[in-house]
Structure 1
Amino acid sequence: MKKVFMSVSEKETKEIASEFSKKLKKNDIIALKGELGAGKSVFVKGVCRGLGIDENRVKSPTFTLLNVYENDETVYHMDLYRISDLDELYYLGFEEFSNSGGITLIEWADKIYEILPENTICITIEIINHDKRKIIIEKGE
């Protein structure tokens, strides 16, 4: 499965993400890829909003590596921008997330793509220009 969306604003990116969130189920892992400023955190805010979590609570965990948001769903939000090696990830208990009953969103997932499960949903956000983004959603098998 591969879907491509074009977004011309943060608001539109959040709307695409919110709609996408309606198809998520427990234990889904979403790998977000894209260069700095592409809109990965904006997409996460939209997913959380779609899951009934106040998007104002959603902050990129760049320095803490992991934030947990809870409502009707539990969302694990990871940001691996500053991760130096996989040991840090294992220290967080990464392998437990896939069976936790929650939904895991991973920014900078390209750093660990080789260890992600085959059924990981990959979101690639490409910067077209200052406002325009191409959002590619692919589901592994």
Structure 2
Amino acid sequence: MSDERITRSPAETIAFGQEIADELEAGGILCLEGDLGAGKTHLVKGIAKGLDIDPNSVQSPTYTLINEYRGRLPLYHFDCYRMESPQEALEIGAEEYFYGAGVCVIEWPERIAPLIPPEALWITITATGKEVRKFVIGKKRS
């Protein structure tokens, strides 16, 4: 997987998510950073599709905090936007998901950063045009 990717439509973002899913294994953690509307949920739809999960079932879990989906690997989709502290993530059992048999995808990970294992991949998403998105992939910067 390259360190940087540009997509030019939601469909390309979903296809990129499928590519990412091809490389995921149980215990994988992806942290998605980006402004509202950057394309985080479209990327998760692609990851879901790549894990044999209906992408139309994927919605941002803003109010439930974690959505669980079953595919070739379980997908745990976190939205930490409303969390005010890492303690809230502990209270809902986040660490059990991080070390479980599935894949965790975390939107707004900076809100629970102290809990996220160092091996997690961080993907920064930037809107550079109406439908153009830039994805930068790497380990957490200290």
Q: Report TM bin, short chain.
A: over 0.9
Superposed, 1:1-141 pairs within 5 Å as 3-139=3-139
Check the 8 A contact 2:30/2:104 in 1, yes or no: yes
Alignment deviations for residues 56-114 of structure 1 (CA, whole Å, 9 cap, x no partner): 11111001101000122111000011112222101110111122110000001122223
Check the 8 A contact 1:2/1:138 in 2, yes or no: no
Which blocks of at least 5 consecutive residues in structure 1 are unaligned?
none
Q: Distance in 2 between matches of 1:39 and 1:82?
A: 18
Check the 8 A contact 1:3/1:137 in 2, yes or no: yes
User: What is the alpha-carbon root mean square deviation over aligned residues?
Assistant: 1.4
* Comparing 38-47 and 110-119, the one that deviates more: 110-119
CA change 1:139–1:23 in 2 (3 A) is farther
TM-score by length of 2: 0.93
User: Post-superposition, which runs of at least 4 consecutive aligned residues in structure 1 deviate over 4 A?
Assistant: none
Alignment deviations for residues 15-70 of structure 1 (CA, whole Å, 9 cap, x no partner): 01101110001001110000110000110000000110000111110011010001
Check the 8 A contact 1:38/1:125 in 2, yes or no: yes
Percent identity reads 37
Check the 8 A contact 1:127/1:134 in 2, yes or no: yes
Q: How many residues align?
A: 140
1:115 to partner: Cα distance: 2.5
